[in-house]
Amino acid sequence: MNKGVAITGMGIISSIGNTLEENFQSLIDKKPGISKIKKIDTIHKDVIKVGEVDIDNAALIQFLNLPESNNYSRTALLAEIAAKEAVKNAKIKDINQYKTGLISATSVGGMDKTEKYYYSYFEENKNRKYIDAHSLGDATSKIASSLGITDFVTTISTACSSATNAIMLGARMIKSGKLDRVIVGGADCLSKFTINGFKTLMILSETDCKPFDENRTGLNLGEAAAFLVLESDSVVARENKEVLAYISGYANANDAFHQTASSENGEGATLAMKKALDIANLSPNDIDYINAHGTATPNNDSSESKAILRVFENNMPSFSSTKGYTGHTLAAAGAIEAVYSILALQNDMVFPNLNFNTPISETKLIPETEVLKKNINHVLSNSFGFGGNCSTLIFSKKY
């Protein structure tokens, strides 16, 4: 097995918890965070369900102790909270003691502000400070500034696989010696833009989503942020750090089939999973748990099921999608599910796939529907995005 890159800290905020501890508790209590939307006024509010973080912007601003003049979008607020928790969790005292980078990911960016003030910007000066907050790199720059990170700061956007790609780049930069330490993850808040966008694609469910169920009708959108701290072996040794887990495998492949739909036999997904196993120097039967992308759309779950069968054949591990808890948090999905994968490793448990009743008739796969205690050494996590972007991470237990 390829040892991989050490993870020494994590931070997360989602609809099932404002901290790492709260998220974990909700997972084991089977308490989802799916409800009708409260903070956005949309005509769809009675026909969609979402995974909304249960704190308004004013409270997030207060929590971060930001001045009134701040121009943080909701994405930036969520991101900074999670990033700070990760840095604290990793017990970092001096961020500049080692060459440290920040790689974040988002698809919404500051769109929550842009859509609110789109026309009123022209009428009054009041909110013009948010014009610069629109760009996808803005939240990342703000976090870098708050944390004092100066060495390498960038942002990735590949739709729903964004954070997975950010984590992958971070691991590669540690491996190549370009960085000693890197904070990686992603964030997305709910917005009218994405709600309506997904509505036009007719893939939003009116009820709680049912990943991998024959009668699934679509996804629930969600918002969240999560970050991991990755550190090189020499930093871990020098600082005598506790390693939470290792990133042992990663891969990014493109389906090159259609802009939004996945190919029927899940070509891109298959390539990504196989390559990640290759990098980790593991075989399919080494994987104990798959945290699937499992958005509960007819297309993804069918395509992903077929891809999983192609890769794992007779060695099907336990698997589940945790999107029944949090909804599909778009660019943040890869990061929050990385956190859940690491929690699975640390606690030797598989988290349940909620709302499942009937397996997909074509593939007959049955996910775990209860918290399952079992020895877990390796977890594979998938995130697939529009544009054919298929990314996979493999997390392995520290030894």
Partner 1 sequence: MENLKKELKEKIIENLNLEDIEVADIGDDDVLFGDGLGLDSIDALELIVMLDKDYGIKLTDPKEGKSIFQSINTMAKYISENKN
Partner 2 sequence: MKNYYINGIGCISAQDTSKENFSFDNCNELKNNIVAAFKPNYRSYIKPALIRRMSNGVKMGVVASSIALNEANIVEPKSIITGSGMGCLKDSEKFLENIINNDEQYLTPTSFIQSTHNTVGAQIALGLSCKSYNVTYVHSATSFESSLIDAMITIDESTQPVLVGGVDEIGPHTTALHKLVNHVKKENDFEKGILNTYSKGAVFSEGAQFFVLESDKNNNAYAQLVDVTIFDNLKVNEVEIKAQQFLKDNKLQVNDIDIIILGNNGDIDFDIYYDELQANVFKDTQQLYYKHLTGEYNTVSAFGLWTACKLMKSQETPEVLKLNDKNLTSINYILLYNQYQGKSHSFILLKKC
Residue 261 touches which member of partner 2, partner 1, none, C-beta under 5-8 Å by kind: partner 1
- As a whole number of Å, the end-to-end CA separation of the chain is 12
Residue selected from 260, 265, 363, 369 as contacting partner 1 according to rule CB under 8 A: 260
Tell me the closest approach of the beta carbon of residue 388 to partner 1, in angstroms: 14
Considering beta carbons, is residue 205 or 248 the nearer one to partner 1?
205
- Alpha-helix residue ranges (DSSP H) falling in 201-332: 233-239, 267-280, 298-312, 323-326
Residue 256 phi, psi dihedral angles, 5° rounding: 45, 45
Assess 66 for contact with partner 1 (CB under 8 A): no
Exactly one of 189, 293, 378, 390 is catalytic; which is it?
293
Tell me the closest approach of the beta carbon of residue 274 to partner 2, in angstroms: 12
What is the x/- site pattern for partner 2, positions 161-200, by CB under 8 A? Answer: ----x---x--xx--x-x-------------xx--xx-xx
CA dist., res. 286 & res. 150, Å (int): 39
Q: How far is CA 228 from the centre of its chain?
A: 11
Residue 359 touches which member of partner 1, partner 2, none, C-beta under 5-8 Å by kind: none
Tell me the closest approach of the beta carbon of residue 116 to partner 1, in angstroms: 25
Assess 257 for contact with partner 1 (CB under 8 A): no
Rounded to whole angstroms, what are the CA distances from 181 to 9, 100, 144, 239?
11, 5, 14, 12
Considering beta carbons, is residue 247 or 271 the nearer one to partner 2?
271
Tell me the closest approach of the beta carbon of residue 299 to partner 1, in angstroms: 9
- Scanning residues 189 to 248, which ones bind partner 2 (CB under 8 A)? 192-193, 196-197, 199-201
Exactly one of 189, 209, 328, 378 is catalytic; which is it?
328
Assess 200 for contact with partner 1 (CB under 8 A): yes
Residue 118 touches which member of partner 1, partner 2, none, C-beta under 5-8 Å by kind: partner 2
Spatial CA neighbour of 52 closest among 69, 67, 79, 32: 32
CA dist., res. 11 & res. 321, Å (int): 20
CA dist., res. 361 & res. 367, Å (int): 14
Considering beta carbons, is residue 46 or 124 the nearer one to partner 1?
46
Q: Is 209 annotated as catalytic?
A: no
Tell me the closest approach of the beta carbon of residue 8 to partner 2, in angstroms: 22
Q: What tokens were used for 276? A: 């990640």
Assess 152 for contact with partner 2 (CB under 8 A): yes
Considering beta carbons, is residue 157 or 248 the nearer one to partner 2?
157
Instruction: Report the length, in residues, of the chain.
Output: 399
- Alpha-helix residue ranges (DSSP H) falling in the chain: 20-29, 57-63, 74-89, 111-117, 120-123, 138-147, 162-175, 192-200, 233-239, 267-280, 298-312, 323-326, 333-347
The secondary structure of residue 109, as a DSSP letter, is T
Assess 121 for contact with partner 2 (CB under 8 A): yes
Considering beta carbons, is residue 98 or 121 the nearer one to partner 2?
121
Q: Is 134 annotated as catalytic?
A: no
CA dist., res. 40 & res. 49, Å (int): 12
Assess 371 for contact with partner 1 (CB under 8 A): no
Q: Is 390 annotated as catalytic?
A: no
- Interface with partner 2: number of residues (CB under 8 A): 64
- Judged by CB under 8 A, the stretch of 67-75, 106-114, 138-146, 255-263 that binds partner 1 is 255-263
Q: What angle do CA 72, 78, 81 make, to 5 degrees?
A: 100
Residue holding tokens 């790689």? 103
Considering beta carbons, is residue 84 or 142 the nearer one to partner 2?
142
- Judged by CB under 8 A, the stretch of 49-57, 73-81, 132-140, 320-328 that binds partner 2 is 132-140
Is residue 307 within 8 Å of 221, Cβ to Cβ? no
Burial 137-176 (b: 16+ CB within 10 A, else e): bbbbbbbbeebebebbbebbbbbbbbbbbbbbbbbbbbbe
The residues that touch partner 1, with contacts defined as CB under 8 A, are 200-202, 258-261
Active site residue ranges = 160, 293, 328
The residues that touch partner 2, with contacts defined as CB under 8 A, are 42-44, 106-107, 111, 114-115, 118-119, 121-122, 128, 131-132, 134-138, 140-141, 144-145, 149-150, 152-159, 165, 169, 172-173, 176, 178, 192-193, 196-197, 199-201, 252-260, 267-268, 271, 385-389
